[in-house]
Amino acid sequence: MKKLSTLMTMALVAMMALTLTSCDEDYDIAYTLEGTWRGNMYVSSVYDGYTYDATYTELCFVQDPYRYSSGTGYWIDHYAGDAPWRYVANHTEWKVRGGVIRIHLMEEDTYVEIANYRLDDNYFDGTIYYGDTKVKFRMNHTSSPNWNDYDYGCWTGYYAKPAPGVRAASGDAKPMRVFKTQE
């Protein structure tokens, strides 16, 4: 009986160590993730029957000082050329759990997960999971822009900083984010 008790205690200690290690890994990921990243997320927006490709995406992760593996930030897709807006911006809430980064795009009320990634002080690449769509991405670590440069909330704010010479759409019309599948 003493052997069984010893074995059970050792198993419990091993399980606790694994549990704590997982939290430490999530914290380390969140710590490295904090900051602003820029690169191609292969995002497009569909609006009024047309598809517009983002030229680059900017993600900012600000770590919550009280919940070390989560935080807030923003996700901004920048557009050029014939798109009727300069950028599509969302505030975000994010969390790292079990190594998976889950991002809530607040204005759109949608979720994106990032897994199978590599992350260091300079580069962040991996796979985005958005519903049934899987997309590879690669981003570089950059300095943080001034958050006050972007408007959030509705078509006249969060979605649309209209391109020069383009009238904003009327009503509740807004672009819909899609990820381009890669072959």
Model confidence over 13-60: pLDDT tens digits?
A: 665 555 444 468 999 999 889 899 999 988 888 888 999 999 999 999
SS3 of 12, please? helix
Q: How far is CA 179 from the centre of its chain?
A: 13
Write down the pLDDT at residue 6.
Answer: 61
Half-sphere exposure of 88 (CA within 13 A, CB side): 24
Residue bearing the bigger pLDDT, 17 or 128: 128
Band of residue 80 on the pLDDT scale cut at 50, 70, 90: confident
Strand order in the sheet with 43-47: 50-53, 43-47, 176-179
Residue bearing the bigger pLDDT, 32 or 12: 32
Pairing of strands 43-47, 50-53: antiparallel
Closest CA to 37 of 143, 179, 158, 148: 143
Give the right CATH number for 2-179 from 1.20.272, 3.40.50, 2.40.128, 2.20.28: 2.40.128
Residue 175 clears pLDDT 50, i.e. is over it:
yes
Give the pLDDT mean for 99-110.
Answer: 95
Amino acid at 101: I
How far is it, in rounded angstroms, from Cα 181 to Cα 177?
13
Farthest CA pair distance, the chain: 82
Closest CA to 38 of 55, 62, 61, 56: 56
| Percent of the chain with pLDDT strictly greater than 70 | 68
| Phi, psi of 3, rounded to the nearest 5 degrees | -65, -45
**Average confidence score pLDDT of the chain:** 79
Write down the pLDDT at residue 14.
Answer: 60
Write down the pLDDT at residue 157.
Answer: 41
Band of residue 167 on the pLDDT scale cut at 50, 70, 90: low
Residue bearing the bigger pLDDT, 10 or 144: 10
Indicate the domain borders of the chain.
Answer: 2-179
Band of residue 183 on the pLDDT scale cut at 50, 70, 90: low
Band of residue 178 on the pLDDT scale cut at 50, 70, 90: confident
pLDDT tens for residues 140-165?
A: 999 644 444 555 443 344 454 555 55
How far is it, in rounded angstroms, from Cα 42 to Cα 137?
7
Write down the pLDDT at residue 146.
Answer: 46
